[in-house]
Amino acid sequence: MDALNTLLLRQRRGFRAFMAKLPPRATTPIRPISQILSRFRAMSLDENGSLRTGVRVALIYGLVLSILSADILAGPDFTFELTYLIPVLLSAWFTSRNITITTALASVLAWTVADIAGGSCHSSISIYLLDLGRRLLLLVVAALLLSRLRRALENERESARTDGLTNVMNLRAFYEVTEQELNRSARYSHPVTMAYLDIDNFKSVNDTQGHSAGDRLLRTVSAGIRKCLRKTDTVARLGGDEFAILLPETGQEAARVTLGRIQETLKDDVRRSRLPVTFSIGVLTCSEKLLTAEKLIREADSLMYSVKRSGKDSIIYAGEAGSGGMRSYAQGRQPDPRPNLDA
């Protein structure tokens, strides 16, 4: 399926390049075709560029019908028994368990129809039912084994992208998500906001109350942040006592509301735990694809350190303006100058 997604995207890019080389008059009769292809792509692919579940199911059932047709045309001289496994295995890998079981039933039905069309017969109805059960068992067991393998690989992949202590994203996964959101932001001209949060006096908690208290504090902070976020927002632990928050389609005013709520929630949580910590937060909003994920995180980190030098326990908001990297600061506090990270 991933190969098919890549093929569709390559064909679209090639078609666009071909259209760009043609004179305006020559493209007039082709434009309706381009619009139809664009609509077909929008119907077939989700926002992540993957085939929608309905399209996958249609392709899999089309494959079942194709195998049935080939089996009937080939006649009894060729055996297609193992071929009926293919759509079931594809369904197990790319769809849900319920769809996979339904696909197995459809494959067994097609297999049986092909046998009847080829003149195959059994000596009794009991033997026929046993043979039918054998086929269904073969397909279902193979599908369940592959489905379990897929879940094991997904769990392993997820654990490689998750911080083991706080159960939020780690740095590697956060870079990938941030890069995707920056590309989406540039494509649709939507703002994106990055916040970098550091726990003030975290070392004193470890030194005076032990590392177990520090671990509990990190879990409390991550849970408090997640309570204030939408499903589309992302939080990650970047290491130590530092967290990053990505807010897609969020301008500076909306970011003020969200980060203010996060700050108050975290203060209430640590107050109940009687921990002597506060939070320094740097917030950067971009309205254009001016930075890579790495530079965006570094810029937000720079703002956070400006809060640290200015007395801690506050938030600085900044907006990226223009390709020169000029930033406008809010919250009534001008951070100390730092080197231009775009240079």
Q: Please, what are the domains in the chain?
A: 2-160 (no CATH), 171-330 (3.30.70.270)
Q: Quick one: what percent of the chain has pLDDT higher than 90? A: 38
Between 24-33, 272-281, 306-315, the lowest mean confidence (pLDDT) is in: 24-33
**256 has a pLDDT exceeding 70:** yes
pTM exceeding 0.85: no
Higher-pLDDT residue of 282, 121: 282
**336 has a pLDDT exceeding 50:** no
Up-side HSE of residue 7: CA atoms within 13 Å toward CB? 5
E strands along 174-215, which residues? 192-200
**338 has a pLDDT exceeding 80:** no
What SS3 state is found at 343? coil
**Do residues 235 and 220 make contact, with C-beta atoms less than 8 angstroms apart?**
no
pLDDT band at 268 (very low <50, low <70, confident <90, very high): very high
Summarize the confidence of residues 144-158 as an average pLDDT: 84
Q: Which of 233, 236, 194, 240 is nearest to 217 (CA)?
A: 240
Mean pLDDT of the chain: 81
Q: What is the CA radius of gyration of the chain?
A: 28
